[in-house]
């Protein structure tokens, strides 16, 4: 009898485990693929757009939280006009809509900054893309989990910090600090403020810096695995030394000026003259051709924007002019 009772208890526990496993599998989302084969959670994507506007005055404008792309352009205007494209995925439209409804856009303003904070009840299934035009001389801070960032024609101080995604900056004229883990970074300056230090850094990716040919600047560049190249600029006081599978390079143009620090662990660095005869057209850097000191960087975590053929577009635009 004792053995029979023990056996029944064991079989009962196994039965509960099987039922529990079945319930867990039932809660898992279907796996979907984009057109280029990228795996996604949930076959259905639901999208809506929320519009917000604010006059930041002299305050930095902040976009923080969640994943998704950022594309901002500087313009001669006093308000920041932004569109937040909320994306939610699920096994059904109802599930995707529930994810979208759980995405929040919280505004908070102080004398020091004006921030848009993005959050979601189900972060794995949610993303928010940010688009818009901001006052040209506004300072920006972007602090998100992942996604490509593109900023053009914004002359205020710029800070970008996230884990995954390429960063492209065109026509910068203020202090710049870019720190990411995976992705290429391209920064084009139309001018640099006198003094100070600019920091451009990625752990895995290439760096490209574009400067006006007559700019006075000090360069401090280092890659642990990759090459360093210069194009179209005349440097003095150059110092170059191989380091591991990479190199260290220090140089100067003109006399004095701000310092630009360039750092990558796995990737190459290009420092080149910007085309001042036309508008800055800095683009994301291509991989630098290999040489004796080049090794291929590890692949970055995929940060492609979510796409799916079954997409719902519901316009929930509502202007907010809170200052």
Q: Is 210 helix (H, G, I), strand (E, B) or coil?
A: strand
Verify that 192 and 230 share a domain, yes or no. yes
Residue 26 has pLDDT above 60, yes or no: no
- Taking CA atoms, 165 is separated from 74, 116, 205, 231, in Å, by 21, 20, 10, 26
Token output for 255: 């006399």
Q: What is the pLDDT of residue 293?
A: 31
Give bridge partners of residue 105 from the DSSP assignment: 118
Q: Is the pLDDT of residue 299 over 90?
A: no
Reported as type and span, the H/E element at residue 106 is: strand 103-109
* Residues 273 and 182 both lie in one domain: yes
Whether 52 and 124 map to the same domain: the answer is yes
Residue 317 forms part of a structural domain:
no
Average pLDDT over residues 3-29: 48
End-to-end CA distance of the chain: 78
- Give the up-direction half-sphere exposure of residue 284: CA atoms within 13 A in the CB hemisphere: 10
> Of 245 and 293, which is predicted with more confidence?
245
User: Could you tell me which residues come within 8 angstroms of residue 17 by beta carbon, excluding any fewer than 6 positions away?
Assistant: none
pLDDT-wise least confident of 6-20, 49-63, 137-151: 6-20
- Residue 96 shares a structural domain with residue 204: no
pLDDT digits (tens, 9 = 90+) for 248-270: 999 999 888 999 999 999 999 99
Q: Is the same domain home to 222 and 173? A: yes
Q: Report the alpha-carbon distance of residue 264 to residue 221 in Å, rounded.
A: 9
Query: What is the mean predicted confidence (pLDDT) over 129-155?
Result: 97
Residues pairing with 62 in the sheet: 115, 141
Residue 52 within a domain: yes
Q: Is the dihedral of CA 289, 295, 301, 302 positive or negative?
A: positive
Mean pLDDT of the chain: 82
Length of the chain: 323
In the predicted structure, residue 4 carries a pLDDT above the cut 60: no
Residue 319 pLDDT greater than 60, yes or no: no
Confidence (pLDDT) at 196? 87
User: Across residues 145-166, what is the average pLDDT?
Assistant: 96
Task: Say whether both 157 and 277 belong to one domain.
Answer: yes
Q: Tell me which of 36 and 11 has the higher pLDDT.
A: 36
Separation of alpha carbons 304 and 129, rounded Å: 11
Of residues 212, 174, 153, 228, the one with CA closest to residue 60: 174
Q: Do the domain assignments include residue 231?
A: yes
239 and 165 belong to one structural domain:
yes
- Supply the pLDDT for residue 256: 82
How many structural domains does the chain have?
Answer: 2
Same domain, 176 and 212: yes
Confidence class of residue 316 from pLDDT cuts 50, 70 and 90? very low
Same domain, yes or no: 121 and 207 = no
168, 178 Cβ separation under 8 angstroms: no
- Of 6, 102, 87, 90, the closest CA to residue 49 belongs to 87
Which of the listed ranges 12-16, 167-171, 311-315 does the model predict with the highest average pLDDT?
Answer: 167-171
Is the pLDDT at 11 greater than 90? The verdict is no
Its sign, for the CA torsion 322, 319, 161, 157, is negative
Q: How far is CA 9 from the centre of its chain?
A: 54
Residue 237 has pLDDT above 80, yes or no: yes
At 272-292, the pLDDT tens digits run: 999 755 444 334 333 333 333
How do residues 55-104 score in pLDDT, each as one tens digit?
999 999 999 999 999 999 999 999 999 999 999 999 999 999 999 999 99
Q: What is the pLDDT of residue 50?
A: 97
Whole-angstrom distance, CA of residue 180 vs CA of residue 178: 7
CB-based burial of residue 41 (10 Å sphere; 0-12 exposed, 13-18 middle, 19+ buried)?
middle
Give domain status of residue 199, yes or no: yes
Q: Is residue 15 over pLDDT 70?
A: no
The residue segments making up the domain with residue 55 are 31-62+77-134
pLDDT above 80 for 310: no
Pair 96, 189 in one domain: no
Q: What is the pLDDT of residues 174-219, one digit of tens each?
A: 999 999 999 999 999 999 988 889 999 999 999 999 999 999 999 9
Q: What is the mean pLDDT of residues 5-16?
A: 49
Nearest to 294 by CA among 233, 240, 224: 224
């Amino acid at each position: 009898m004792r053995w029979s009772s023990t056996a029944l208890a064991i079989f009962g526990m196994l039965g509960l485990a099987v039922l529990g496993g079945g319930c867990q599998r039932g809660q898992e989302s279907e796996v979907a693929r984009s057109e280029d084969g990228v795996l996604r959670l949930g076959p259905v994507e639901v999208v809506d757009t929320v519009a917000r506007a604010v006059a930041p005055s002299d305050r930095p404008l902040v976009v923080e939280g969640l994943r998704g792309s950022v594309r901002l352009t500087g313009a001669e205007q006093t308000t920041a006009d932004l569109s937040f494209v909320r994306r939610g995925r699920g096994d059904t439209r109802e599930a995707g809509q529930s994810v979208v409804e759980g995405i929040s856009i919280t505004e908070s303003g102080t004398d020091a900054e004006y921030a848009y904070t993005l959050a979601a009840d189900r972060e794995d299934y949610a993303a928010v893309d940010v688009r818009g035009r901001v006052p040209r001389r506004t300072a920006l801070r972007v602090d998100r989990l992942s996604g490509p960032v593109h900023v053009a024609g914004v002359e205020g101080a710029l800070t970008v910090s996230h884990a995954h995604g390429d960063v492209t900056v065109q026509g910068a004229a203020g202090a710049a600090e870019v720190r990411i883990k995976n992705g290429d970074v391209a920064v084009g300056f139309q001018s640099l403020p006198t003094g100070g230090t600019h920091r451009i850094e990625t752990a895995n990716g290439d760096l490209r810096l574009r400067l006006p040919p007559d700019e006075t600047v000090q360069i401090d560049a280092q890659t642990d695995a990759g090459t360093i190249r210069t194009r179209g600029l005349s440097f003095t006081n150059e110092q170059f030394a191989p380091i591991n599978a990479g190199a260290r390079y220090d140089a100067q143009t003109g006399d004095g000026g701000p310092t630009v620090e360039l750092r990558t662990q796995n990737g190459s660095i290009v420092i080149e003259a910007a085309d001042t005869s036309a508008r800055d057209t800095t683009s994301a850097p291509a991989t630098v051709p290999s040489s004796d000191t080049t090794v291929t960087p590890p692949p970055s975590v995929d940060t492609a924007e979510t796409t799916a053929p079954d997409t719902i577009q519901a316009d929930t635009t509502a202007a907010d002019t809170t200052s």
